[in-house]
Amino acid sequence: MNGQTTTKTTNQIILDGLWRDNPIFRQILGICSTLAVTNNVTNTAVMCISLSLVTALSCATVSALKEWTPKTVRMMVQVLIIAFYVIIVDILLRAYWPDMSRSLGPYVGLIITNCIVMGRCEAFAQSNRPWPSFLDGLFSGLGYSVILLVIAAIREVMGMGTLAGYPLPYFSTQWDKWVIMVMPPGAFFVLACLLWVCRSIGIKGKKA
């Protein structure tokens, strides 16, 4: 978030989104959905795909419109564009994947308020061209997705003994299921542990 301009290469954008500036463990953005939708891998995956697409398309659109957008209303324009894409995702899910739409409930709509989307629009897309902005949004979304899927996998396996709905050999039978893992506090514990691990690796990487 330090006002980088068009000098980033594609590889840098990808690496920043996935690791160096990872929205979850570097910027601690989008935590609400991290806690809310990670108790089961299938829901998380759909949420991640939706968020990545919304971020990528919103960033590209914000970037494409930036020459005409007056500075005074740029935040309003960003929210409008984000809401536009989120509602499209919501409508498509409701029409073509009603079961998923029902189980995600209000969380699809809440992508609008996910800080990652607006954060990338404001920090990157506002000062870069559409294609790099699209990539930046997409890979920030994927960076978020990777962490969310790891959290979801840990929570689902330890809390329910299944992975994406399929019972796992040891966990669904002998394993004493940790009920706390499927409850909201479970997400806090797993997220905190992951932050710890990822940041420790990050620090080591910098020293080397």
Partner 1 sequence: MKESRYFAVVYMFVLTAICSTLLIGLARLTEAKVKSNEQIAFERAALAVFPSVQVQSDAEVHAVFTKDFAAPKVSGDAYEYRPQGQLAGYALPFAGQGFWAPIRGVIGIGTDFKTITGIWFYEQAETPGLGARIVEPFFYEQFAGKQFDEGLRPIRIRAPAEATERDIQAITGATQTCVRLEKLLNDAVTQWRQKKEAAQP
- Out of 7, 9, 72, 174, name the contact with partner 1 by CB under 8 A: 72
- Paired tokens of 68: 């005409």
Q: Give the orientation angle of helix 130-160 with respect to helix 184-207, to 10 degrees.
A: 120
Q: How far apart are CA 80 and CA 149, in angstroms?
A: 28
Q: Which residue, 121, 140, 143, 139, is CA-closest to 130?
A: 121
Contacting partner 1 (CB under 8 A), which of 96, 176, 206, 208? 96
Q: Find the binding residues for partner 1 in span 4-43 (CB under 8 A).
A: 39-40
* Window 103 to 132, contacts with partner 1 (CB under 8 A): 103, 105-106
> What is the rounded distance in angstroms from the CA atom of residue 142 to the CA atom of residue 194?
16
Please report, as a single letter, which amino acid is at residue 26: R
Amino acid at residue number 180: I
Phi, psi of 162 (to 5 degrees): -125, 165
Residue number, 179 or 197, with CB nearest to partner 1: 179
- CA dist 203 and 208 (Å) reads 9
- Binding of residue 197 to partner 1 (CB under 8 A): no
Q: Is 69 in the site for partner 1 (CB under 8 A)?
A: yes
Of 76, 192, 193, 201, which lies in the binding site for partner 1, with binding defined by CB under 8 A?
A: 76
In the complex, the smallest distance separating the C-beta of residue 13 from partner 1, rounded to whole angstroms, is 27
Q: With binding defined as CB under 8 A, does residue 166 bind partner 1?
A: no
* Residues lying near partner 1 in the complex (CB under 8 A): 39-40, 65, 68-73, 76-77, 80-81, 83-84, 87-88, 91-92, 94-96, 98, 102-103, 105-106, 156, 159-160, 177, 179, 182-183
